[in-house]
Every structure is written in structure tokens, then in C-alpha cells.
Amino acid sequence: MGIHATEVTAEAGRGRTADSEDAPLLQVKNLQVEFRTRDGVAKAVNGVNYSVRAGETLAILGESGSGKSVSSQAVMGILDSPPGFVTGGEIVFKGQDLLKLSNEKRRKIRGTQMAMIFQDALSSLNPVHTVGTQLGEMFRVHRGTSKSEAKKKAVELMERVGIPAAKERVNQYPHQFSGGMRQRIMIAMALALEPDLIIADEPTTALDVTVQAQVMELLADLQAEYNMGLILITHDLGVVADVADKIAVMYAGRIVETAPVHELYKRPAHPYTRGLLDSIPRLDQKGQELYAIKGLPPNLLRIPSGCAFNPRCPMAQEICRTEVPPLHAVTEADGAPLEGRGSACHFWKETIHG
């Protein structure tokens, strides 16, 4: 399978950054998730490693089917099972492996220590309860506060995320709020118990750009205020460039490149990342053909052998079809180390240094 090799070099590449400070808030090690379907086993996540520190923003970038959402659902422990199963790896949160905990213990961690913001706020909120009830539920279930106290807290939270007339609106139902306001309620709910880690799965994809800017700004402010770790899952290269500290690019269930945000945009070390960046329309290309990555993202039931990107890759050679590339530690041309950079490409040197 070659997963072993991936794991080892990935650890070596990341070790440098991880050891320099205290232990990270969350560390995902060699995570594997599969979906057992009627048509066969879909390997949605194939040995993924990443870590997040307090106050840090990790962006997981990928297309649909790349495993970006599934890996975070596994971290939260909300994977639909069956058909989804975590088949290997560790999810170390504040020093303990979540996969070894009982359901009851994980449930206590969810909401109080880690929380999630979903893409579609309308379908994530319960339409038959007022937003006040739903926000207050967090306090009543996890903290045992009284009903009236919970409502007071709900109003405070709504004010905190910038919902005008919170006192009156606390008794309204989700459908009475606009898309941006609903997403603010989702954020308020995630923040309610001041968790240490927030996972935001495409938090602004359903929103208009002017509202997206409001929501992203709010999220960044709150993150700084509470010093939370944030995992931002998105396919939008623009949003990533705006807020991320470091990036993990996923393709067909693997992380194909990791890098600090500035480095990734300046010098991508994987042909897939380079293809994505090149296909953004640029001013000087007006009237010319856009660069397009040829072909389609792979079917997870039939991931190509070797490097999963090889059928679409302009640099593919024989070795790419037979051997899974491990996550190499990326260095300068003279061998000087580049902190936090890794690329799962046999030809990363050629990709980054030309």
C-alpha cells in the first residue's frame, strides 16, 4: 500500500515544526476512513496527518470527494457509521486519543472543547425550535443551567456575533433569519461553551460575497479573542489566502501538499496545487485560454494506482503509475530546510525549483 512510507516521512517532515513549541492542540496521525457501500469499499481518507495549535488556522483545501469533510467528521466523531468507518490512525486531542474513548466521553468533549460550523445553516438548525432554545440547549445540556438563565446567555451570544435586536430575535425561528444571520447563529452555537478547537466546514460557501466578508471577519476576530484553533475546510483559494496560517491540500483522500500560506501561493511544490493556482483567471490572461487541469477527479472506488493524480498530471512518468509518493520534506534547491513544507510528489524538486 505504501502508506507506511507516507507516514514515516510525513512525520519526519513535520517533526521539525512540531517539536519547537509545546504540544499541538490536535494531532491527526495516519487517519484512515472508508465507506463500505454496495458497490465496494470507497477509501475516503488514506493516511492523513496534520496538527493544529491554539490560535492557529489550518486550511484544508480540496475538491468534492477529496476527503476533506470526511476527515474532519472523523475528528468530531460525527461520521455516519455505517457506511463510514475509521479503520486506522490516531486523533490526539489535548494529549488523549479520541478514537480510544467511549462514545459517552467523546460526547462530553463535543461542544465543550471542540465544535463545528456547518456549511448550510438552514438545514443544520432545527426549524421547529426558536434560535434561543437551540442556543440555550448548549448551556442546559452541558452546564445544567436553568431555562431562563440559558435564554439570557443566548441573547448575550447573539449580541456577541453581531445580531441586531438580539432580545427580540431570540424568540424567532431559523426561517425568519437571512442566510448571513443564520450562519452567525451557527457560529454563536459553536462558540457557546468557548471550545478550544473549531472546525468550520465551508462556512461561507452558501453566502454572498459581501456577507461572506462579514462572517469571515467575525470568525477571525472571535478566534483571536478566544485563542482557538481553527480548521477551515474549503475549496475556495481566495478565502484560504485571506485567513489561513498553514494549508493542507487534499486529493483523493491524501494530503498531497502542506505549506505555510505565503509559501504555497508563491511556490507550490505539487503539480495539483500548481494546476489549481494556474487555473485562477489572471488579468494578463484576458482573452486567452485558461489553464485547465485535464480530466476529472477520481472515483474513490477506483483510485488510480501509484500517485492518484497521475492520469491528470502533466509531469507524470512511469514511477508515478506504480509507486505511491510519500510526503517528502520540501527543501530549498541547496538543501536548506523549509519549515512545515511537504509534497507527495516524486518530482517535487522539479515542480518547485523548475
Partner 1 sequence: MAEPTAPEVAIEAVMDKQVERGEPILQVRNLEKHFPLTQGILIKKQIGAVKAVDGVSFDLYQGETLGIVGESGCGKSTLAKVLMNLETATSGEVLYKGEDISKVSGRALKAIRRNIQMVFQDPYTSLNPRMTVGDIIGEPYEIHPEVAPKSDRRKAVQDLLDVVGLNPEYINRYPHQFSGGQRQRIGIARGLALKPEIIICDEPVSALDVSVQAQVINLLEKLQDEFNLSYMFIAHDLSIVRHISDRVGVMYLGKMVEIGSDEEIYEHPTHPYTQALLSAVPVPDPEGREGRERIILAGDIPSPANPPSGCRFRTRCFKAQEKCAIEEPLLAIPQVFSGQDTPAAHESACHFAEDVDIVGATNGEA
Question: By CB under 8 A, is residue 214 in contact with partner 1?
Answer: yes
Least spacing, CB of residue 86 vs partner 1, in Å: 26
Smaller CB distance to partner 1: residue 192 or 215? 215
Locate 33 and state its grid cell: 476512513
Q: Does residue 250 interact with partner 1 by CB under 8 A?
A: no
Nearer to partner 1, 85 or 291 (CB): 291
Tell me: does residue 344 bind partner 1 (CB under 8 A): no
| Binding region for partner 1 (CB under 8 A) out of 39-47, 283-291, 324-332, 335-343 | 283-291
Residue from 296, 301, 317, 322 touching partner 1 (CB under 8 A): that is 296
Stretches 18-26, 92-100, 142-150, 277-285: which one binds partner 1 (CB under 8 A)? Answer: 277-285
Q: How far is the CB of 255 from partner 1 (least distance, A)?
A: 17
* Of residues 116-135, those binding partner 1 (CB under 8 A): none
Per-residue x/- marks for partner 1, 162-191, CB under 8 A? ----------------xxxx----------
The span of 12-20, 84-92, 144-152, 275-283 binding partner 1 (CB under 8 A) equals 275-283
- Listed ranges 42-50, 83-91, 213-221, 335-343: which one lies at the site for partner 1 (CB under 8 A): 213-221
241 interacts with partner 1 by CB under 8 A? yes
Contact set with partner 1 (CB under 8 A): 63-64, 178-181, 208-214, 216-217, 235-242, 244, 261-262, 265-266, 275-277, 279-281, 283, 285-286, 289-294, 296-297, 312
